[in-house]
Chain A
Amino acid sequence: MALMKYAPQALKNLFMKPATKKYPLEKPVYPDGSRGHVTISIDECISCGMCARACPNGALKVDRNAGTWTIDRFDCIACGYCVLKCPKKCLFMEKGYQTPGPEKKEETFTKSPEVLAAEEEKRKEAARKAAEAKAAMAAKAAGESKPAEEKKD
């Protein structure tokens, strides 16, 4: 009787706790490194857009001027390719699956005002430097062409 081979298992089952969990009350335990959902530490982000270009599903949007990083959780397939591609390593794959929702909407992360202000300052500084460099180049070019003209004379 091959069927009787299950008798020990059946006895064990009688005195075992249920295998299922009372889900919303009891939180599920995920192992470390489980690919649940993508998160970002937005203040470290340099808005390079590598993640948005890498995403196989086109679920990410990056806006450099507004300093936002947007993810469509319903399009995200949790493959982790954006995390691999991020040059600043500010994207993370966290455990725990995303919560279900009644409507399809995007989640937007915005940089804090201080970081945005600092970036704006940097951009202005860069623009100023670029203008200065341009002016210097122009002056140099003018200076170079002058002796040439003098030579001609």
Chain B
Amino acid sequence: MGKRSVIPFGPQHPVLPEPIHIDLVVEDEKVVEAIPSIGFVHRGLESLAEKKDFNQMVYVAERTCGICSFQHGMGYCESVEHIFGVEVPRRARFLRTIWAELSRMHSHLLWLGLLADGFGYENLFYQCWRIREKILDLHELTAGGRLIFSVNKVGGVTKDIEKEKLEEILRTLDEADDELRVIRSVFFEDRTVLSRLKGVGVLSKEQINELGAVGPFARASGVRVDMRMLGYAAYNELSFIPIVSNDGDCYARCFIRMMELFQSIKLIREAIGKIPEEKEIEVPVKGNPDGEYFMRVEQPRGEAFYYVKASGKPLLDRMRIRTPTFANIPALCEMLKSSEIADVGLLVLTIDPCISCTER
């Protein structure tokens, strides 16, 4: 048995642009224990609910995360809509689904690029981000912003996607589909990629269930958990089956996210095919919310909770967000145990960490 020592990982680390600190207790080259600490970029978004009215909070909730901003806004709006008891027009629900899937695509492409960069394959990183750029252009074309959409409002959406723009989305997705197939074969077949990903950081289904991990991270270990099965927005009208793998290693996590990209393309095509022709995209909401609601949405990184409590005043009593990365940190620390110190950066990347979301 070698001598134990503690190596600090983060809050500044080349793999992560965001601050998380993990104390790694190592024995020779093996990690025996990982102790996380967060709280470096706490922003106090939840307490802003006491200062901004519930309509302004849409824009605050949206800025919880720069990458999955649309789903944050949608989750908040849906919970307030449930308190009001209003039914959002069908077209608005389809539009929300299209935007949510587009933002999932951009997030997964970003992650695949970062993963490639994490194991030192810079060329693949650029190829992923080349496709991501097209998706970002679609965001700007349809919503007006490249990352922050600002199209959600309580009662519907503020912008419609016209027919020409829907066709433009389909055209771009066809191009992206072809290019993704090339990238997929590199991720799934290339020897250098496989040697870094196969059999690294294995977590069993029991461990995931015990530690409460969510999202693609849990699905890679065979846990069938996907909030899109709840059928919020227009998911109940689309043919959606979650993608699950049983390997539980880094390769499986990469596989899940890569296949979800193709699934997103399929879902968007289906949604555009089924989108109703009606003009209505929002319903007027009068008065102030009174009551509480608990909403769960599936973000690119996993399941996010929204708890909203209101008592008939314009200011909310409480808003609580639990982001997926927060749920994934215990499982990450379990995964780090018995891993090699050289793999730590890669393993932290595979949960797709979004630390600033976690800190809210």
Query: Residue-by-residue, is A60-100 near B (CB-CB < 8 Å gives 1, otherwise 0)?
Result: 00000000000000000111110010000000010000000
Instruction: Give the CA-CA distance A54 to B189 in the complex, in Å.
Output: 53
Residues B144 and A93 in contact, CB atoms below 8 Å apart: yes
Residues B59 and A81 in contact, CB atoms below 8 Å apart: yes
Q: Which residues of A contact B191 (CB under 8 A)?
A: 2
Instruction: Give the CA-CA distance A1 to B348 in the complex, in Å.
Output: 29
Residues A6 and B150 in contact, CB atoms below 8 Å apart: no
Q: Which residues of B contact A6 (CB under 8 A)?
A: 123, 127, 182, 186
Residues B150 and A80 in contact, CB atoms below 8 Å apart: yes
Instruction: Give the CA-CA distance A2 to B187 in the complex, in Å.
Output: 9
Q: Which residues of B contact A35 (CB under 8 A)?
A: 144-145, 150
Instruction: Give the CA-CA distance A33 to B151 in the complex, in Å.
Output: 12
* Given A56-B52, A79-B59, A84-B158: A3 and B144 interface contact (C-beta under 8 Å): no
Contact of A34 among B57, B123, B140, B148 (CB under 8 A): B140
Query: Residue-by-residue, is B184-206 near A (CB-CB < 8 Å gives 1, otherwise 0)?
Result: 01101111000000000000000
Query: Residue-by-residue, is A27-56 near B (CB-CB < 8 Å gives 1, otherwise 0)?
Result: 000110111000000000000000000101
Q: Which residues of A contact B59 (CB under 8 A)?
A: 56, 77, 79, 81
Contact of B144 among A9, A56, A80 (CB under 8 A): A80
Is B141 an interface residue, CB under 8 A from the partner?
A: yes
Q: Which residues of B contact A84 (CB under 8 A)?
A: 153, 158
Is A5 an interface residue, CB under 8 A from the partner?
A: yes
Is B15 an interface residue, CB under 8 A from the partner?
A: no
Interface residues of B in 45-70 (CB under 8 A from A): 52, 55-57, 59-60, 63
Q: Which residues of A contact B266 (CB under 8 A)?
A: none
Measured CB to CB, the closest approach of chain A to B286, in angstroms, equals 15
Residues B145 and A78 in contact, CB atoms below 8 Å apart: yes
Residues A31 and B140 in contact, CB atoms below 8 Å apart: yes
Measured CB to CB, the closest approach of chain B to A36, in angstroms, equals 9
Residues A54 and B140 in contact, CB atoms below 8 Å apart: no
Residues B189 and A2 in contact, CB atoms below 8 Å apart: yes
Q: Which residues of A contact B148 (CB under 8 A)?
A: 77, 79
Instruction: Give the CA-CA distance A5 to B150 in the complex, in Å.
Output: 39
Residues A79 and B150 in contact, CB atoms below 8 Å apart: yes
Residues A5 and B159 in contact, CB atoms below 8 Å apart: no
Contact of B159 among A9, A33, A77 (CB under 8 A): A33
Instruction: Give the CA-CA distance A6 to B189 in the complex, in Å.
Output: 13
Interface residues of A in 87-137 (CB under 8 A from B): 93
Instruction: Give the CA-CA distance A56 to B189 in the complex, in Å.
Output: 49
Residues A2 and B127 in contact, CB atoms below 8 Å apart: no
Contact of A56 among B56, B123, B145 (CB under 8 A): B56
The residue in B57, B63, B144, B185 that gathers the most chain A C-beta atoms within 10 A of its C-beta is B144
Contact of A5 among B141, B144, B185 (CB under 8 A): B185
Residues B56 and A2 in contact, CB atoms below 8 Å apart: no
Q: Which residues of A contact B153 (CB under 8 A)?
A: 84
Measured CB to CB, the closest approach of chain B to A80, in angstroms, equals 6
The residue in B127, B150, B159 that gathers the most chain A C-beta atoms within 10 A of its C-beta is B150
Q: Which residues of A contact B186 (CB under 8 A)?
A: 2-3, 5-6
Q: Which residues of B contact A80 (CB under 8 A)?
A: 144, 150, 158
Nearest A residue to B138, CB-CB:
A31
Q: Which residues of B contact A31 (CB under 8 A)?
A: 137, 140-141
Residues B182 and A9 in contact, CB atoms below 8 Å apart: yes
Nearest A residue to B191, CB-CB:
A2
Residues B185 and A2 in contact, CB atoms below 8 Å apart: yes
Q: Which residues of B contact A77 (CB under 8 A)?
A: 59, 63, 148
Measured CB to CB, the closest approach of chain B to A34, in angstroms, equals 5
* Given A54-B56, A79-B150, A81-B56: A30 and B140 interface contact (C-beta under 8 Å): yes
Residues A5 and B52 in contact, CB atoms below 8 Å apart: no
Instruction: Give the CA-CA distance A80 to B189 in the complex, in Å.
Output: 46
Q: Which residues of B contact A93 (CB under 8 A)?
A: 144
Q: List 17 A-B contacts (CB under 8 A).
A: A2-B186, A2-B190, A2-B191, A3-B186, A6-B123, A6-B127, A6-B186, A9-B127, A54-B55, A56-B59, A77-B63, A79-B59, A79-B148, A81-B150, A84-B153, A84-B158, A93-B144
Which 7 A-B pairs give the minimum distances between C-beta atoms? Answer: A35-B144, A56-B56, A2-B190, A2-B189, A31-B141, A79-B59, A79-B150
14 more A-B contacts (CB under 8 A) besides A54-B55, A56-B52, A56-B57? Answer: A2-B188, A2-B189, A2-B191, A5-B182, A5-B186, A6-B123, A6-B127, A35-B145, A78-B145, A78-B150, A79-B59, A80-B150, A81-B150, A84-B158
